[in-house]
Chains A and B, each alone.
Chain A
Amino acid sequence: MPSITKPLIPLAPLPKNDLGLTIRDYEGAMSTLCAGCGHDSVTAAIVHAFWELSTPPHMIAKLSGIGCSSKTPTYFVRGAHGFNSAHGRMVPIATGANAANRELTYIGISGDGDSLSIGLGHLMHGIRRNVKMVYVIENNGVYGLTKGQMSASADIGSRPKKGEANLLAPIDPITLGLSLGATFLARSFSGDKEQLIPILKAAVAHNGFAIIDVISPCVTFNDHEGSTKSYKFMREHEVKEVQTDFVPVRAEIRAKIPVDGATEVTMHDGSVVRFRSVPEGYDPHDRLKVETYIRDRHDRGEIVTGLLYVDETARDIHALNETPANGLNKVPFDKLCPGGVELAEMQKAFR
Chain B
Amino acid sequence: MEPTNDQDPNYFHKVVDCQWACPAHTNVPGYLRLIAQGRFDDAYMLNRESNVFPGILGRTCDRPCEPACRRDRVDGSPVAICRLKRVAADLKGDTSDRLPTIPTEKNGKRVACIGAGPASLTVANDLLPMGYSVTMFEQYDRPGGLMRTNIPEFRLPDKVLDDETTVILDMGVDIRYNSPISSLRALLDEGFDSVFVGVGAPRGKELDIPGRHDGVESHIFIGIDWLESVAFGHVTEIGQRVLIIGVGNTAMDCCRSSRRLGGREIKVMARRPREFFKASPWELDDAEEEGVEIVVNHAPKRFVLENGALVGMEFDVLEWDEGARHSTTVGTVIIPCDDVILAIGQENSFPWIERDLGVEFGEWDMPVVDQVTHQSSLPGLFFGGDAAWGPKNIIWAVAHGHAAAISIHNHCTGTDLRERPPMGMTLISQKMGMSEWSYHNDYNPTTRQKMSHIELTRRFESLELEVELGFSAEQTAREVQRCLNCDVQTAFQAPLCIECDACIDICPVQCLTITSNGSEAALRGRLSAPSLNLDQALFVSDALPQTGRVMVKDENVCVHCGLCAERCPTAAWDMELFDLQIPYAQSANFIRIPVRASSGADSRR
Residues of A near any B CB (own CB < 8 A): 1-12, 34-38, 40-41, 43-44, 190-191, 193, 217, 219-220, 223, 231-232, 235
Contact = CB atoms under 8 A, between A and B. Distances in A.
A190 B559 CA distance: 26
Given A5-B442, A11-B509, A232-B546, A191 B502 contact: no
Given A38-B500, A40-B502, A7 B561 contact: yes
Interface residues of B, number: 34
A44 B501 contact: yes
B561 A217 contact: no
Given A4-B562, A41-B502, A191-B499, A12 B569 contact: no
B305 interface: no
A11 to B, nearest CB: 5
Contact of A4 (B73, B74, B435): B435
A1 B566 CA distance: 7
A7 B443 contact: yes
A9 B443 contact: yes
Contacts of B561: 4, 7
Given A3-B435, A191-B501, A35 B566 contact: yes
B75 A10 contact: yes
B215 interface: no
Given A3-B436, A4-B563, A44-B505, A219 B442 contact: no
Contacts of A10: 74-75
A217 B501 CA distance: 12
B508 interface: yes
11 contacts: A4-B566, A7-B559, A9-B508, A35-B567, A36-B498, A36-B569, A40-B505, A43-B505, A190-B500, A191-B500, A235-B546
5 smallest A-B Cβ distances: which pairs? A36-B569, A7-B443, A3-B435, A44-B505, A36-B500
Contacts of A37: 500, 502, 569
B498 A7 contact: no
Contact of A8 (B500, B508, B547, B567): B508
Contact of A223 (B436, B498, B530, B547): B498
B500 A6 contact: no
A6 B445 CA distance: 13
Contacts of A8: 445, 508
Contacts of B435: 1-4
Nearest to B504: A44
B570 interface: yes
A37 B569 CA distance: 8
A219 B500 CA distance: 9
Given A9-B559, A11-B74, A12-B532, A35 B443 contact: no
A235 B508 CA distance: 27
A43 B568 CA distance: 16
A41 B557 contact: no
Contacts of B501: 40-41, 44, 190-191, 193
A120 B254 CA distance: 85
A220 B569 CA distance: 8
Contact of A36 (B547, B559, B568): B568
Contacts of B498: 36, 219, 223, 231-232
A312 to B, nearest CB: 31
A24 to B, nearest CB: 8
Contacts of B441: 4
Contacts of B508: 6-9
B529 interface: yes
